[in-house]
Structure 1
Amino acid sequence: MTKGWVKSFSAVLALTLVLVGCSNSGKNNNGTGGAASGSPLAAGDQTVIGGAIMNLGWPWYQGAIDGMNNYAAKSGKNLKLQFEDGKFDINTQITQLENMAQLGAKGIVVFPVDGKAIIPTMVKLHEQGVKIVVGDYPQSPDNPEDAVWETFVGHDFKEMGKAAGEVAVNYLKTLNKEDPTVVYLSVPASGQASVDRFEGFSSVIKEAFPNAKVIEEGDPKGDRNSAQTLFENVLQRNKSVDVVSGHNDALVLGAYNAAVSTNRDKEVKFIGLAGDKEVLQYIQDGNPAWIGEVLQDPVVLGEVALEALLASLDGKDLGETTPLPKPETITPDNINDYDWKSWSWLGN
């Protein structure tokens, strides 16, 4: 997360807005620039934009909402944003997208619940003229022609895994072990996103320590409680575990709780992914078990996703993906450089 950006962001628009009217959109993809003739943004009328959120039960997604609101405020365009919480349920999210289109949304930023099930709905909305940008969770259509979204905006998950791996390697080098044991908790339901994070992480570990034992444990639920149970079992099977990381902070916090409950937290180091105030507080407080947090910046994600959608409505073209900045890593050495307690998406 870029320090300067983070310090300047704030939520500036109300989230609950009523959608009215019906409309159609044009074709083409994303970019930047002024409204073209015939663009829904050209006439100065209010443009309705939807934001379909995977799960607001995860505070991280509040950051994506903040980012979209930030960009709407500074865009100079007459926008009305409507956000809906998919509650990590695909049927709920499908209904929400259909309702947004019926109520007049000219474009929707979708943070999908999974990697495929929402695609038929996006195809249907595309046929109705609704522009769609996919954020955070890459989609895998069976038919390439069904990739109807204007662009994908998301973090490079493999780079996130690599960043966590680099933190792990820096610590492991201090142990003078040729065969350290490293555990990574994944979420198989997250598809390629989970695969990429693990592959990035394990590749860095194996390059530095070819004899390392890298254990991947899949957590079907992907929450803190299930991760605690899962890691308790890992600890029972392994006399020594040196480092733990995982798909997100909830999993790593669950593993940490398991280590504490079994009195093994002094021997294991933990690296979080995404951004969580509890993890950051542990690092800030000097808890020796926590050696890093790899940030997945949701505010920048929301800003760039809305910018791309508006560019699409202006008739601009973008490629299949719109890149985001490389992930940053917070460690005990640099945490004082970050004003993380001001980040509203952490629940502060």
Structure 2
Amino acid sequence: MQRRTFSKGVFVAALALTTSASALMAADKNYVIGFSQVTTVEPWRVQFNKDLRAEAALHENVELLMADANDRTEKQVADVENFIRQEVDAILISPKESAGLTGVVEQATDAGIPVFVLDRNVDTDKYVQWVGGDNELIGRAAGKFALEKLGGMGAAKGTIVEIWGGLGTQAAHDRANGFHEAFENEAGVSFLLDQQSGDWKQDQAYDIMSTALRNYEDITMVYGHNDPMAYGAYLAAKDAGRADDIMFIGVDALPGEGVTWVANGELAATFLYPTPGAEGLRQALAYLGGAEVEKSVVMGTEAVTADNADDILKRNGLK
């Protein structure tokens, strides 16, 4: 698993080097680039925007227009339509859901505007490039970790509460599918809930976990599709006096959230889901400069546990 992740990291780094020359070719032209973000409420999205703005600041010839869809598909469609009317040079979009944003992505492409899809994908191939993390890879890494903690292959025992992200997002399904692969032949492990969506939000996960705690006396582990939901479940268990008996696993690994919660012993692990904003902008500039770019750029992951959480916090100036 580590070898696979490493190779993907090398691929991204190499691709960044090959596209840098084309980005330089585009440096003598001015570009207006529109970015449609699904929401700015989730901390991962806040970091996503921060990384994108930091990259844009490195390019004096780039004007970055950012639109917040306020977690509503219809608003995001309208935002992208507005970018089309403005005839921007390229559009970056991080969709709320796949199906709902497919049409407007195709509309932009048909208008001759190159589209770069970041994070969640859409149900069409009419875009230049997709950039994001491998959610199935992340799910498998989390599943492998969970399996080992529950006793290992063929001997694992326990009950798991899984708290999904949005049921309409491919990311949630991929994180679930990857995680479940580890337990396909583990008769001693059972999942207690049936696709309960916390919509990526801490408060909704708290409510789901509170109900689960009332309904089940034995809960061994919680797998949240992101760190805020895993932490919301932890808080619910803590309020019920049961947090010490349950292991919590999340995804995202933002230093100020998931990594900190692991360092504090509140989460057992989190798995890095890198933000694609900076890479997406670099790829767009390379394309505008005349380079051929890959149809997809897959970013790697990293397991954050008690063994390395403190070091990551120190590297980020948080300890």
User: 1:86 is aligned with what amino acid?
Assistant: A
User: 2:308 is aligned with what amino acid?
Assistant: N
The match for 1:99 is 82
**1:113 matched to 2:96:** yes
User: 2:245 is aligned with what amino acid?
Assistant: E
The match for 1:17 is none
Q: CA 1:188–1:78 in 2, change beyond 3 Å: closer, same or farther?
A: closer
Per-residue CA shift, 1:285-344, capped at 9, x if unaligned? Answer: 3x2x4211111121xx1122112212222233334311212x111111111221368389
| Deviation, structure 1 residue 111 | 0.5
TM-score (norm 2): 0.84
The match for 1:157 is 135
Per-residue CA shift, 1:8-63, capped at 9, x if unaligned? Answer: xxxxxxxxxxxxxxxxxxxxxxx726559xx9x47x23211111111111121232
User: 2:68 is aligned with what amino acid?
Assistant: D
Per-residue CA shift, 1:122-178, capped at 9, x if unaligned? Answer: 22222222111000001124xxxxx2210111111011111212222232229x964
In 1, the alpha carbon distance for the partners of 2:89 and 2:273 equals 28
Q: Which of 175, 184, 193 is residue 197 of structure 1 equivalent to? A: 175
The match for 1:229 is 207
The match for 2:147 is 169
Where in structure 2 are the equivalents of 1:1-348 lying within 5 Å? 32=19, 34=21, 41=26, 44-74=28-58, 78-141=61-124, 147-173=125-151, 178-206=156-184, 209-216=186-193, 217-219=195-197, 221-276=199-254, 277-285=256-264, 287=265, 289-298=266-275, 301-325=276-300, 327-339=301-313, 342=316
- Calculate the aligned-residue CA RMSD, in Å: 2.9
TM-score (norm 1): 0.77
The match for 1:27 is none
Alignment length, in residue pairs? 301
The percentage of counterpart residues that share the same residue type is 22
| Deviation, structure 1 residue 77 | 6.2
In 2, the alpha carbon distance for the partners of 1:233 and 1:311 equals 50
In 1, the alpha carbon distance for the partners of 2:291 and 2:218 equals 55
Q: Check the 8 A contact 1:33/1:314 in 2, yes or no.
A: no
Per-residue CA shift, 1:46-90, capped at 9, x if unaligned? Answer: 21111111111112123222333343344x561111111111111
Q: CA 1:251–1:190 in 2, change beyond 3 Å: closer, same or farther?
A: farther
Q: CA 1:314–1:77 in 2, change beyond 3 Å: closer, same or farther?
A: farther
Higher helix share: 2
In 2, the alpha carbon distance for the partners of 1:311 and 1:215 equals 47
User: 1:282 is aligned with what amino acid?
Assistant: W
Q: Check the 8 A contact 1:55/1:88 in 2, yes or no.
A: yes
Q: Check the 8 A contact 2:150/2:157 in 1, yes or no.
A: no
Q: SS at 1:338's partner residue?
A: helix
| Deviation, structure 1 residue 100 | 2.1
Q: Which runs of 5+ in 2 are unaligned?
A: 10-17
User: 1:318 is aligned with what amino acid?
Assistant: V
User: 2:50 is aligned with what amino acid?
Assistant: D
Q: Check the 8 A contact 1:131/1:149 in 2, yes or no.
A: yes
The match for 2:12 is none
Ranked by relative contact order (alpha carbons within 8 Å, sequence separation 6 or more), the top structure is 1
- Between 60-69 and 244-253, the greater mean CA deviation after superposition: 60-69
Structure 1 segments (4+ residues) deviating >3 Å:
33-36, 69-74, 339-344
Q: Check the 8 A contact 2:98/2:123 in 1, yes or no.
A: yes
Q: CA 1:163–1:340 in 2, change beyond 3 Å: closer, same or farther?
A: farther
Q: Which runs of 5+ in 1 are unaligned?
A: 6-30, 142-146
